[in-house]
Amino acid sequence: MRFITVKNYEEMSKKAAIIIAAEVLKKEDCVLGLATGSTPVGTYSRLAEMCDAGEIDFSKTRSVNLDEYVGLDVENDQSYRKFMNVNFFNKINIDINNTNVPNGCAEDLNKECERYDALIESMGGVDIQLLGIGVDGHIGFNEPDSEFVMGTHHVTLDESTIQANARFFDSENDVPRSALTMGMKAIMNAKQILMIANGKGKKDILMKALYGPVTPEVPASILQLHPNVTVIYSEE
Ligand code: F6R
């Protein structure tokens, strides 16, 4: 594992963007595993700038997102599909048909989970997976549990996740109580993992995940078993 400490959010975003851009340059039809939340916004902006400047071309790139709230569709400003369109996909030359987010409004959520896993497999798996980390150690929405869940699944969100994400909604009551998330199999099968984290509030959980025991109670600790992980952390 490579652990890179940087001085601020800008530097974290720039370095993360360079690592992702290198992957796109090496393999134009690579599969990007993407995350939402406040941490990757700067990374997406830097990548969009590189695309604007003609430095990278996303026209053949494919993507799969980690997760989506159950019950929120693309029209909803808080859905992760909308987040990705606004913060990234609409700013780069990716073919929107090559971008994938689980459908949190599917009639049969279990079938949707199976479809998503089959899709990732048919794409040959993820080349580089971008991850943030939740205050409870979640990656995607793999919440602390008694076991690591392998496949894409329907998950009840932890109280701490609901509270942390309430900042994006009018009130805590509006935060969906469940989500669909990619499971550990697709994440761990990614050829490369890039985790970004910023702020003092993430430091304890990050250290616990990366240097503590590997346990499903700290879902991100599974990354210790992956052979190609880069973590970029900014305390500011
Ligand atoms: C979202 C996701 C989550 C976030 C995590 C941190 O797609 O995968 O695991 O990365 O909740 O969120 P922020 O970046 O908002 O602190």
pLDDT digits over 216-228, tens only? 999 999 999 999 9
Count other C-beta atoms under 10 Å from residue 52's C-beta: 12
Indicate which residue of 68, 117, 143, 158 is catalytic.
Answer: 143
Please list every protein residue whose CB sits less than 6 Å from any atom of ligand 1: 35-39, 66-67, 132-134, 138-140
Q: Is the predicted pLDDT of residue 89 greater than 90, yes or no?
A: yes
Q: Which pLDDT value is given to residue 191?
A: 98
Annotation marks residue 29 as catalytic? no
Q: Whose CA is nearest to atom 8 of ligand 1?
A: 140
pLDDT tens digits, residue range 178-214? 999 999 999 999 999 999 999 999 999 999 999 999 9
Indicate which residue of 23, 68, 117, 138 is catalytic.
Answer: 138
pLDDT-derived band at 236 (thresholds 50, 70, 90) equals: confident
pLDDT tens digits, residue range 50-65? 999 999 999 999 999 9
Q: Which token pair is 15?
A: 């370095």
